[in-house]
Structure formats: C-alpha cells, structure tokens
C-alpha cells in the first residue's frame, strides 16, 4: 500500500469521526426534558429524544471512520515492516490510525541503509583462502615443507 493512500485513508478516518461527533451533538441538542406537575399535583416529566436522523447519520460516519482507520493502520504496519523501519512500525502499532497519519505525513518511504552481510577484501590486502581472487594479485605459492630451506 502506498504511503499516500495510507495518509488519505487516515485523513478520511479522522474526518468521519469528527463529522460523527458533530452530528451526534446536533442530534442530542434537539432533545429536551420537561418536568412539572399536573392538575392533581403529581410530578410529571417529558423527554424528547432529539433528532434520530442525525444520530443515525452520525453512526454511519463513525462506522466509515472506523473502517478506514483500521485499513490505514494495517496498511501503515505492513508498509513500515516492508521497508524495515522498525521505529516507525512501533509508532504506528501503538498509535493506531493517528500513527499511520503521522507516518503518512512525515515518515520515510525508502528502506533504511542495511549493512551488507559479506565483505570483499579491500584492494591492497593479500588474498585469503576461501575468498574470491581479486584481479591484480598473483596466485599464491604454497609454503615449502618444514625441513627444506626456501629456494632463492
């Protein structure tokens, strides 16, 4: 998943949550509680539930925000693991869709520079057994037997 898609999904998630909160507050703002007494002196109360349509639309926006936030979170985890940025992976893991949004806005897209596993001998060093022969070195001669002097 691309970084820009994770960022967009996280933004849609937060927009859905904010719209859901606004619509839920609007639905509750229309509710009222009226208390009083009737003609016989008995206490009465009347409660109106507010606007049910706003509450239903708010739940819809919460659902959209939750699903897109989950997709952004999983996508951010997968991408940060693929590029082996483990600090960002932990941040996205712990912060959820907020971490995915932060990574989408400021995180890296490329893998960290990894150290190579094997090293070639540097030029100027004598060849070592078990390593490939580099150009420019003459083949090594074996050592003379122990009891014979070297030949000049």
Highest mean pLDDT pick, 47-51, 67-71, 106-110: 67-71
Is residue 38 pLDDT above 70, yes or no? yes
Please tell me the distance from the alpha carbon of residue 121 to that of residue 49, in angstroms, as a whole number.
79
Query: Minimal CA–CA distance to 105: which of 22, 40, 10, 28?
Result: 10
Question: Residue 40: what pLDDT?
Answer: 79
Is residue 105 pLDDT above 80, yes or no? yes
At 131-147, the pLDDT tens digits run 666 666 566 666 666 67
**Is-contact 16 62, C-beta < 8 A?**
yes
At 61-96, the pLDDT tens digits run 999 999 999 999 999 999 999 999 999 999 999 999
**Is-contact 103 91, C-beta < 8 A?**
yes
Query: Minimal CA–CA distance to 13: which of 108, 96, 103?
Result: 96
Question: Residue 120: what pLDDT?
Answer: 64
């Amino acid at each position: 998943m691309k970084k820009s898609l994770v960022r967009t999904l996280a933004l849609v998630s937060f927009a859905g949550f904010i719209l859901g909160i606004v619509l839920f507050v609007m639905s509750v703002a229309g509710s009222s509680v009226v208390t009083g007494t009737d003609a016989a002196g008995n206490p009465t109360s009347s409660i109106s539930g507010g606007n049910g349509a706003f509450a239903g639309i708010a739940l819809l926006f919460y659902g959209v925000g939750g699903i897109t936030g989950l997709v952004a979170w999983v996508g951010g985890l997968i991408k940060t693991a693929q590029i082996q940025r483990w600090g960002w992976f932990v941040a996205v893991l712990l912060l959820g869709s907020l971490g995915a949004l932060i990574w989408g806005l400021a995180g890296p897209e490329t893998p960290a520079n990894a150290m190579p596993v094997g090293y070639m001998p540097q030029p100027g060093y004598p060849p070592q057994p078990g390593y490939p022969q580099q150009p420019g070195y003459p083949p090594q001669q074996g050592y003379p037997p122990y009891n014979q002097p070297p030949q000049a």
